[in-house]
C-alpha cells in the first residue's frame, strides 16, 4: 500500500494513497466542519458531492481553497484547516446558504437537531449580509413524511439514501440553478410516488426539509378527552434509543422509565408491541412450518422462500417494485397491526368499551408505521385498528413538553393482558431478530424438542446481507437476512431468477433494522450508536427468563380464550392480510 506523508495544521500525518484531506485530518483528531458530506461507516454509505464548500481548507501552493471532503492527499502537502482565509470563506459559504433559507428556526421541527443551525452557531454567524430572492416551493405532505423544500440546501444526502442505498428511486435533483429542488419524478407528491416511507431520507437530512408528520398534538387532545380510552403500544427498538434524547449513553435500555413516562402522560393502558411480536411469531412461524412441510411432502406449488412481513416500508417496496411476487411474503400482519386488531376486539370486549371510544396509539422507531396504520385494509367500518403512530423522537418531545423528569423516573412494568412478552419479541428491533425469534419457535414446534441453545450468533450482526443454515433436527433450513432495501432487492432478484436456495428470508427496510428506523433519535452519521442499540436489544433478550414466543402465558391465554389456534379462521380474519399490485398506482399530478 502506497503511503503519503503530509502536514495538517503543523501536525505530520501518514495516510494511504486515496485518503481525502477530511479523513486524514480526522485521523489526527482534527474535525473539519462539513455539511453536505455524510459517511455512514460500516454501511458503505458515503455522500461527497463537494457541493456545499463548508469543508474548504488552505493547501500551500494551491491558488484556491480545496474542499477537504473531495480532495485527495498528496505527498508533502501542507494543509491549514483554520487560517483566516478559510474561516472567512466558510462563514461566507454558510451566510450564502442562509440567504436562501427561511428564518423560522424557532418553530422548525428540526430546531436543536439541525446541522445548518449548528454550523451557523459554530461559525459565529450573527448576521446575513446577503439579501435577495428566496426560492419557494409547495409543501408536500404524505401520510408519513413532509417535504419542505424551501429548507433544502441541496446536499443530496436524501438522494443517496433513496437511490443508492434503498434503490427506491423517488428523489432526484430536478431543474437547474435557482429553480433546482430535490423532488420525485414529474414533481408528483410523495403519496403518488413509489416512496416506501422508510424515512431514511428524513434520518440524513441536515435541515428541516424532510421531517416526519407530527401526531403529538392530536395525541395530547386524545389524552385530555375523558370520553376516550387511550391505549399505547411501544415497539422493541424504542426502548433501546429513547434514552439518547435525554442525554443517556447510546445503548441504554429505558424500558421501565419509558413505561413510567407513558403512565405520567396519562395513557389508560400501557401495553407492549412486543406482546404482538410474540403473536406474529405464532402466526408467521406456523405459516413457515406449514409451507415448508407441504413443500417437503412434495407439493411444489407452495411458494418458498417465505418472506417476513413486519416492515411496512418493505411491504410497500415489493408492492411497487415486485408485485408479481406478492404471494411470497408471509400474510401475517405486522406486530403494530396485530396489536391494534386484538386491542379493538379481544381487549375491547374485556373492558367492555366500544372500539370507537378506544384510541390505540403506537410508539414506533419508524415513520412508515404512520402510513401502515392508515391503510384501508386495517380499518373496520372506517375505524382504524391503530389510530395513529408516533415516532421515538415525537415521544421524547412529548415527555419534555409535559415537563417530566425522565432521568428521575422509577422503572415500572407494562399492564396486563397485552404487556407480557418474550426475549424473542424484543429482538424484533434489530436486523436478524425476527427470523431468530421465528426459528426459536418453529424449531420447537417442528421437532417437539427444546432448543439446546437459544442464541443464534450466526444470524446476528450488521452486514447488509447474511445467511445461515439452521439444523432443524436433521432438516437443514436455509435462512437469508437483508436490511436496507437495496440488499432486499438483490435477494428478490435471486428469487425471481430461481436462484434462491433460501427457505425463509427476513427483510427490514432500514439499515440496521428498526434500531436504525426513520423515527429514531438522529445519529448524525455516528453508526456506532446503531451498534450500541443492537447490543442493548440482545442484552434485554438475554436478561429475560421468558425467551420464546410460544411460551408467553398471555399469548397462550389469548389463543385459549379468543383465537383458537394459529392460522385459525379468526386469526386469518384479524391477524393476516393481503398485498396489492401498486405498479400502476403511481400517477402524475
Partner 1 sequence: MSSIKIKLKDKDVEQIKEICGSFNNQAGELINVLHKVQGVFGYLPAEVQEVVASELNVSVAKVYGVVTFYSFFTMIPKGRNPVSICTGTACYVRGAEKVLEEFKKELGIGVGQSTPDGKFSLTCLRCVGACGLAPVVMVGEKTYGRVSPDGVKDILKEYED
Alpha helices in 418-512 (DSSP H): 423-426, 433-447, 485-496
Is 549 catalytic? The answer is no
CB of 581 to partner 1, least distance (A): 16
Is 528 catalytic? The answer is no
Is 244 catalytic? The answer is no
| Residue 183 within binding range of partner 1, rule CB under 8 A | yes
* Spatial distance between the Cα atoms of 202 and 516, rounded to a whole number of angstroms: 12
The single residue of 115, 212, 283, 287 carrying the catalytic annotation is 287
Nearest to 53 by CA among 99, 27, 88: 88
Nearest to 537 by CA among 257, 274, 253, 336: 253
The single residue of 142, 193, 260, 330 carrying the catalytic annotation is 330
Is 391 catalytic? The answer is no
CB of 43 to partner 1, least distance (A): 21
Query: How many Cβ atoms sit within 10 Å of the Cβ of residue 486?
Result: 19
The single residue of 244, 372, 394, 444 carrying the catalytic annotation is 372
| Residue 42 within binding range of partner 1, rule CB under 8 A | no
Query: Which residues inside 153-172 make contact with partner 1, applying CB under 8 A?
Result: 163, 168-172
Query: How many Cβ atoms sit within 10 Å of the Cβ of residue 323?
Result: 15
Query: How many alpha carbons fall within 13 Å on the CB side of residue 271?
Result: 26
All cell numbers assigned to 450: 427444546
| Residue 175 within binding range of partner 1, rule CB under 8 A | yes
CB of 587 to partner 1, least distance (A): 10
Q: Are 370 and 389 in contact (CB under 8 A)?
A: yes
| Triad 509, 514, 518: Cα angle to 5° | 70
CB of 199 to partner 1, least distance (A): 18
Nearer to partner 1, 168 or 364 (CB): 168
Binder among 9, 187, 290, 455 for partner 1 (CB under 8 A): 187
Nearer to partner 1, 168 or 360 (CB): 168
The single residue of 159, 284, 506, 540 carrying the catalytic annotation is 284
CB of 96 to partner 1, least distance (A): 22
All cell numbers assigned to 106: 424557532
CB of 588 to partner 1, least distance (A): 5
Nearer to partner 1, 172 or 500 (CB): 172
CB of 174 to partner 1, least distance (A): 5
Contact region with partner 1 (CB under 8 A), list: 30-38, 76-84, 185-193, 526-534? 185-193
Residue 359's Cβ-count burial label (10 Å; 0-12, 13-18, 19+) is: buried
Supply φ then ψ for residue 552, to 5 degrees: -65, 115
Which residues are bridge partners to 390 per DSSP?
A: 363
Nearer to partner 1, 380 or 588 (CB): 588
Nearer to partner 1, 159 or 287 (CB): 159
Is 330 catalytic? The answer is yes
Contact region with partner 1 (CB under 8 A), list: 43-51, 173-181, 249-257, 379-387? 173-181
* Spatial distance between the Cα atoms of 171 and 5, rounded to a whole number of angstroms: 40
The single residue of 58, 144, 514, 548 carrying the catalytic annotation is 514
Binder among 185, 220, 445, 454 for partner 1 (CB under 8 A): 185
Q: Name residues whose C-beta falls within 8 Å of residue 468's C-beta, 6 or more positions apart in sequence.
A: 456, 458, 459, 478, 479
Q: Name residues whose C-beta falls within 8 Å of residue 434's C-beta, 6 or more positions apart in sequence.
A: 277, 280, 308, 310, 427, 428, 506, 508
* Spatial distance between the Cα atoms of 589 and 582, rounded to a whole number of angstroms: 17
Is 187 catalytic? The answer is no
The single residue of 60, 377, 560, 573 carrying the catalytic annotation is 377
Dihedral through CA 105, CA 110, CA 116, CA 121, nearest 10?
A: 60
Site size toward partner 1 (CB under 8 A) is 16
Query: Which residues inside 560-589 make contact with partner 1, applying CB under 8 A?
Result: 588
Binder among 7, 78, 128, 174 for partner 1 (CB under 8 A): 174
Binder among 31, 126, 176, 499 for partner 1 (CB under 8 A): 176
Binding mask 114-153 for partner 1 (x = CB under 8 A): ----------------------------------------
Which residues are bridge partners to 391 per DSSP?
A: 364
CB of 182 to partner 1, least distance (A): 9
All cell numbers assigned to 392: 421515538
Q: Name residues whose C-beta falls within 8 Å of residue 32's C-beta, 6 or more positions apart in sequence.
A: 21, 22, 25, 26, 55, 57, 68, 81
Nearer to partner 1, 114 or 492 (CB): 492
Is 205 catalytic? The answer is no
Query: Which residues inside 484-513 make contact with partner 1, applying CB under 8 A?
Result: none
CB of 70 to partner 1, least distance (A): 21
Query: How many alpha carbons fall within 13 Å on the CB side of residue 405?
Result: 3
* Spatial distance between the Cα atoms of 375 and 360, rounded to a whole number of angstroms: 15
The single residue of 257, 344, 369, 548 carrying the catalytic annotation is 369
Is 458 catalytic? The answer is no
Core vs surface per residue 523-551: b (16+ CB within 10 A) or e:
bebebebbbbbbbbbbebbeeeeebbbbb
Please give the residue ranges that form the binding site for partner 1 (CB under 8 A): 163, 168-176, 183-187, 588
Which positions are annotated as active-site residues? 284, 287, 310, 330, 369, 372, 377, 514
Amino acid at each position: 500500500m502506497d503511503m503519503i506523508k503530509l502536514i495538517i495544521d503543523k501536525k505530520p500525518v501518514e495516510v494511504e494513497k486515496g485518503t481525502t484531506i477530511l479523513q486524514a485530518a480526522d485521523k489526527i483528531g482534527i474535525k473539519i466542519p462539513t455539511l453536505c458530506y455524510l459517511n455512514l461507516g460500516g454501511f458503505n454509505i458515503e455522500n461527497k458531492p463537494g457541493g456545499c464548500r463548508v469543508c474548504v481548507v488552505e493547501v500551500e501552493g494551491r491558488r484556491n481553497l480545496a474542499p477537504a471532503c473531495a480532495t485527495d492527499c498528496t505527498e508533502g502537502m501542507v494543509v491549514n484547516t483554520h487560517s483566516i482565509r478559510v474561516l472567512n470563506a466558510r462563514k461566507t459559504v454558510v451566510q450564502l446558504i442562509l440567504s436562501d433559507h427561511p428564518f423560522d428556526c424557532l418553530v422548525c421541527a428540526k430546531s436543536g437537531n439541525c446541522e445548518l443551525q449548528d454550523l451557523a452557531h459554530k461559525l459565529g454567524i450573527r448576521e446575513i449580509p446577503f439579501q435577495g430572492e428566496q426560492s419557494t416551493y409547495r409543501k408536500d405532505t404524505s401520510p408519513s413524511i413532509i417535504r419542505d423544500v424551501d429548507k433544502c440546501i441541496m446536499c443530496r444526502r436524501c438522494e443517496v439514501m433513496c437511490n443508492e442505498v434503498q434503490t427506491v428511486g423517488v428523489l432526484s435533483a430536478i431543474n437547474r440553478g435557482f429553480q433546482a429542488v430535490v423532488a420525485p419524478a414529474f414533481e408528483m407528491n410523495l403519496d403518488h410516488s413509489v416512496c416506501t416511507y422508510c424515512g431514511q431520507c428524513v434520518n440524513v437530512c441536515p435541515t428541516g426539509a424532510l421531517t416526519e408528520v407530527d401526531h403529538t398534538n392530536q395525541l395530547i387532545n386524545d389524552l385530555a378527552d375523558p370520553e376516550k380510552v387511550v391505549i399505547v403500544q411501544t415497539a422493541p427498538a424504542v426502548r433501546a434509543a429513547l434514552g439518547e434524547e435525554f442525554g443517556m449513553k447510546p445503548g441504554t435500555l429505558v424500558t421501565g422509565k419509558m413505561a413510567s413516562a407513558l403512565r405520567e402522560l396519562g395513557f389508560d393502558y400501557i401495553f407492549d408491541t412486543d406482546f404482538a411480536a410474540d403473536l406474529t411469531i405464532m402466526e408467521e412461524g406456523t405459516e413457515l412450518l406449514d409451507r415448508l412441510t407441504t413443500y417437503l411432502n412434495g407439493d411444489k406449488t407452495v411458494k418458498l422462500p417465505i418472506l417476513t412481513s413486519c416492515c411496512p416500508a418493505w411491504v410497500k417496496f415489493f408492492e411497487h417494485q415486485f408485485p408479481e411476487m406478492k404471494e411470497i411474503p408471509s400474510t401475517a400482519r405486522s406486530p403494530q397491526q396485530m396489536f391494534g386488531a386484538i386491542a379493538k376486539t379481544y381487549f375491547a370486549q374485556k373492558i367492555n368499551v366500544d372500539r370507537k371510544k378506544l384510541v390505540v396509539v403506537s410508539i414506533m422507531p419508524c415513520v412508515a408505521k404512520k402510513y401502515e396504520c392508515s391503510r384501508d385494509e386495517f380499518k373496520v367500518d372506517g375505524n382504524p385498528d391503530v389510530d395513529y403512530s408516533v415516532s421515538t423522537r415525537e415521544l421524547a418531545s412529548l415527555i419534555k413538553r409535559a415537563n417530566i423528569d425522565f432521568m428521575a423516573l422509577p422503572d415500572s412494568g407494562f399492564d396486563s393482558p397485552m404487556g407480557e412478552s418474550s426475549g424473542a419479541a424484543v429482538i424484533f428491533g434489530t436486523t436478524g431478530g425476527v427470523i431468530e425469534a421465528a426459528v426459536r419457535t418453529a424449531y420447537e414446534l417442528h421437532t417437539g424438542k427444546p432448543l439446546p441453545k437459544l442464541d443464534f450468533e450466526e444470524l446476528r450482526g450488521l452486514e447488509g446481507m447474511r445467511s445461515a443454515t439452521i439444523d432443524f433436527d436433521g432438516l437443514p433450513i436455509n435462512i437469508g437476512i437483508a436490511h436496507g432495501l437495496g440488499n432486499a432487492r438483490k435477494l428478490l432478484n435471486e428469487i425471481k431468477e430461481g436462484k434462491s436456495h433460501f427457505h425463509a428470508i427476513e427483510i427490514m427496510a432500514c439499515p440496521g433494522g428498526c434500531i436504525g428506523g426513520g423515527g429514531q433519535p438522529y445519529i448524525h452519521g455516528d453508526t456506532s450508536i446503531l451498534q450500541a442499540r443492537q447490543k442493548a436489544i440482545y442484552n434485554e433478550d438475554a436478561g429475560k427468563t421468558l425467551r420464546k414466543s410460544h411460551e408467553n402465558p398471555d399469548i397462550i391465554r389469548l389463543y385459549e380464550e379468543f383465537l383458537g389456534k394459529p392460522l385459525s379462521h379468526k386469526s386469518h380474519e384479524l391477524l393476516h392480510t393481503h398485498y396489492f399490485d401498486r405498479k400502476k398506482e403511481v400517477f402524475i399530478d
